[in-house]
Amino acid sequence: MTATFITQGVMALIALVLFVSAVSLSHKIEKRSQPTRTPGTGSSNTNMFGQILNASVATDPETQRLRRAMIMRFSMGLIVFVGLAVLTLTA
């Protein structure tokens, strides 16, 4: 029972780290694609789903590489989250 709780905690932390890193990449993509839209260093909202669908994203290779990395981290986070849900339901 304790091993299950530890596994669930580790999986939750992994999912959290993956989502936070995907959001960080999303902010970098937005700054590269629309540099005048987010002036200053303050916090701003980002459109991750628009970037996943390649809407209003710069077409240079570096930005597209960042976009693919963001999609990979977001997808891995979703997979870990689904695995966590399955583990929780079967425990």
The structure tokens 């976009």 sit at 67
pLDDT tens digit sequence for 48-91: 899 999 888 989 999 999 999 999 999 999 999 999 999 989 87
pLDDT tens digit sequence for 31-42: 888 877 656 666
Domain boundaries, given as residue ranges, for the chain: 7-32+50-90
pLDDT band at 46 (very low <50, low <70, confident <90, very high): confident
> 32 and 58 in contact (C-beta within 8 Å)?
yes
Helix axes 2-33, 61-90, angle to 10 degrees: 160
